[in-house]
Amino acid sequence: MIRFLLNRAATMAVTIAIISALVFFIIKLPPGDFLTNQIAELRAQGETASIQKAEFLIRQYGLDLPIWQQYLVWIGVWPGPNGFSGLLQGDWGWSFEYDRPVTEVVGDALWLTLLINLVVVVFVHVVSIPIAIYSATRQYSIGDYIATFVGYIGLATPSFLLALILLYYMNRWFGISIGGLYDAKYAGQPWTWPKIQSLLSHLIVPTIVIGLGGTAAMIRRMRANLLDELGKQYYVTAKAKGMPPTRALLKYPFRMSLNPFIADIGNLLPHLVSGSVLVSLVLSLPTVGPILLAALKTQDQFLAGFILMFVAVLTVVGMLVSDLLLAMLDPRIRLAGRAR
């Protein structure tokens, strides 16, 4: 077990190192960077004071160094103008666009993104699993057809469209504005109970909007998986033992059908971050999606790089978690090879 974890940790480190290099070099791929572009613009306007400041920043962040050195400085394994100070040391860099440290720019947005995605993941599972079980056990019943139909609609509706529609009707019928993650008056205030309440009520619509497609897809997949398992012999055995049907269903075929979903946990996170950009824009949610988009457009390299690295780390860790969960739940993975 320990050996396995060490092995995995080593592979993960290598994976993340490769990703970081890719991320950095791809961001740097277009000619120039945020500061040189800005300097060019300032020169055109002839503002020498600002130019001096920009040139100071260039030196400060080593943007005049060769690219590979810049990369190593960013990672924190090469002494930069301020000594070793990079991702490894917890210095996430400076956002030129916002003229603030990346930590401050991303700060809340990061945790709110995680929160929303977590809520969405829970929502997707809580809603889709019971429906899928119902659909599978009553295959070709009216209920199954309705679930299937609703599922297809859910799959086919563009989520930003749904967001717009809900935005309009929620305001018109219930008089609530659902933009943002909490009422504007709480912005910049410490976390108090009313603020959390406001947050929770604002979470409802984004959750539904972002989660709908996933829910529909999950119902379809779960239903198909479960239908496969329902025909298996061991389920007949369970029934032949005299088990009550629901208990037999949950203990045997349902548990078997969970495997592919657990294996998917790792993939879920990056998908949710990049998939909800449009919705976040429409609902003006302060998530990292829109920030990432803007940062990439303006070549705000440290900001973009940090967000991408963050998602990468989450993904790799998610993969590890799903592998460990799989091994925990499925003895065949845990013990395979020891047989006989």
Partner 1 sequence: MRPLLDIRDLVVEISADGTTFKAVDGLNLSIPTGKTVAIVGESGSGKSVTAQAIMRILPKVARIAGGSVVFDDPADRHPPLDIAGIPDGSETMRRIRGGRIAMIFQEPMTSLSPLHTVGDQVTEALRLHARVSAEEAKEKAVEVFRRVGFPDPQRALVTYPFELSGGLRQRAMIAMALITRPALLIADEPTTALDVTTQAQILDLIRELQGETGMSVLLITHDLGVVANMADEVVVMYRGRVVEAGSRDDIFRRAQHPYLRALMRAVPRFGMEPGERLTPLREVATAALPARPPTVETPPDRTVLAVENLTKTFTLRAGVFSGNLREIKAVDSVDLSLLSGKTLGLVGESGCGKTTLSKMISRALVPDAGRVLFDDGTGPQDVHQLSGEALTRYRRTVQFVFQDPFSSLNPRMTVYEILTEPMIIHGIGTSDERFERAKTLLDMVGLDRQSLRRYPHSFSGGQRQRLGIARALALEPAVLLCDEPVSALDVSVQAQVLNLLKDLQKALGLSYIFVSHNLAVVDYVADTIAVMCRGHIVEEAAAETLFRAPAHPYTKALLAAVPDPDIDRPLDFARLRSDKFSDPSAWPEPFRLARGDSGRMMSLAPDHKVRMMTAASLGEAA
**Which residues contact partner 1 by CB under 8 A?**
1, 3-4, 232-234, 236-245, 251-252, 255-256, 327, 329-340
Could you tell me the smallest distance in angstroms from the CB atom of residue 138 to partner 1? Answer: 10
CA contacts within 13 A on the Cβ side of 200: 6
Q: How far is the CB of 36 from partner 1 (least distance, A)?
A: 51
Task: Using the minimum distance from each CB to partner 1, give the nearer residue, 132 or 230.
Answer: 230
Distance (Å, whole) CA 296 – CA 288: 12
Minimum CB separation from partner 1 for residue 113, in Å?
33
The single residue listed with the structure tokens 């609902």 is: 283
Under a CB-based contact definition with an 8 Å cutoff, are residues 159 and 213 in contact?
yes
Least Å distance, CB 112 to partner 1, is: 37
Q: Which is nearer to partner 1, 112 or 258 (CB)?
A: 258
Q: Which is nearer to partner 1, 296 or 329 (CB)?
A: 329
Report the residue number, 32 or 260, with the smaller CB distance to partner 1.
Answer: 260
Cα separations (Å) of 310 from 86, 110, 225, 245? 14, 9, 33, 45
Question: Quick one: tokens of 44?
Answer: 């055109």
Are the CB atoms for 164 and 282 separated by under 8 Å? yes
Please tell me the distance from the alpha carbon of residue 205 to that of residue 209, in angstroms, as a whole number.
Answer: 6
CB of 128 to partner 1, least distance (A): 22
Residues 6+ apart with CB under 8 A from 199: 181, 182
Closer residue to partner 1 in complex, CB, 52/246: 246
